[in-house]
Amino acid sequence: MDIYNRFANIYDELMIDFNYEDWFNYIEKIFKKYNREPKKILEMACGTGNLSYYLAKRGYRLTCFDLSSDMLSRAYDKLRKFKNVRLMNQNMINFNLNESFDSIISICDSINYITEKEDLLKVFRNVWNHLEDNGIFIFDINSHYKLKHIIGNNTFIEDREDVFYSWQNYYDDSEEICEFYLTFFCSNDGECFERFDEEHKEKAYKEDEIIELLKEAGFKTIDSFEAFGFEKIRKETERINFIAIK
């Protein structure tokens, strides 16, 4: 089932405070720090194409995929003017494109949605198999601390002009999984509101668990930083960025 279905229609409005241009600039800084000048990039779980837009505008030969056809439809609307972009409907766990890339990128805690370690290892092995030698893999996660202590077992409510939603969360300590229960009331005409519900799950991975799986997949050069810079991870770090070199 497409977990994003109707959520795709309001995703960009909900993420309006998230600066994807800043995220793009951070990725460019990573390329510079690691002396990489990629020409050909694969973006996994591209969503509605917010980061993809800046990568495409920069001129990279870009392949983007997502599991959600609804998200891809929104991405297509943003990216169709670019001749250097290809969109595909693929799953991170089993994608096979029969080509390799200079860099592979996944942002906005998409990795946390892989809730089984065995599946995450498959993702990392897929990445390894699709990278050129010395290729760079860049991704982030919501930290274990954030999912357990900031998001977990808390409720958030937001009221915007055409969208009202409640976000109730439950953290399962034994499985280390945070379950999100979202209820939306959306209006297209400013008067009548329609309700729909979404359920999502994210796995709370520890930094050393991710590093261990990356090593098992074949990566030997692995760094981790507090996003969106190059500072060391702290106990209270909420988003961790990983860089792995093939």
> CATH number of the domain that 155 lies in?
2.20.25.110
Say if residue 75 is in the same domain as residue 135. yes
Q: Which three-class secondary structure state does DSSP give residue 67?
A: coil
Q: Are residues 78 and 151 in the same domain?
A: no
Do 30 and 228 contact (CB within 8 A), yes or no? no
State the average pLDDT for the chain.
89
32 & 92 share domain:
yes
Pair (72, 187) in one structural domain: no
Task: Report the CATH number at residue 116.
Answer: 3.40.50.150
Are residue 91 and residue 183 in the same domain, yes or no? Answer: no
* Polymer length in residues for the chain: 246
Q: Are 74 and 109 in contact (CB under 8 A)?
A: no
- Residue 188 near residue 207 (C-beta atoms within 8 A): no
- 116 and 18 in a single domain? The answer is yes
* pLDDT tens-place string over residues 167-212: 889 999 999 999 988 787 766 655 556 776 778 899 999 999 999 9
Structure tokens at 135: 């290729």
Mapped onto helix, strand or coil, the DSSP state of residue 55 is: helix
pLDDT over 80 at 133, yes or no: yes
Q: How open is the CA angle 70-117-134, to the nearest 5 degrees?
A: 80
Question: Is the domain of 35 the same as that of 113?
Answer: yes
- Check whether residue 46 and residue 62 sit in a common domain: yes
- Structural domain including 181 reads 145-203
- Tell me the HSE value of 66 on the side-chain side, using a 13 A CA sphere: 26
Residue 163 has pLDDT above 80, yes or no: no
SS3 state at 153:
coil
Residues 216, 196 share a domain: no
Total domains in the chain come to 2
Tokens at residue 14, please?
């909900």
Pair (194, 95) in one structural domain: no
Residue 157 has pLDDT above 60, yes or no: yes
Give 3-13 pLDDT, tens digit per residue.
Answer: 445 555 555 45
Sign of the torsion formed by the C-alpha atoms of 29, 30, 34 and 39: negative
Q: Are residues 109 and 221 in the same domain?
A: yes
Buried b / exposed e over 23-43, threshold 16 CB at 10 Å, is bbebbeebbeeeebebebbbb
CA–CA gap between residue 195 and residue 184 (Å, rounded): 5
95-107 residue pLDDT tens: 999 999 999 999 9
Same-domain pairing of 138 and 168? no
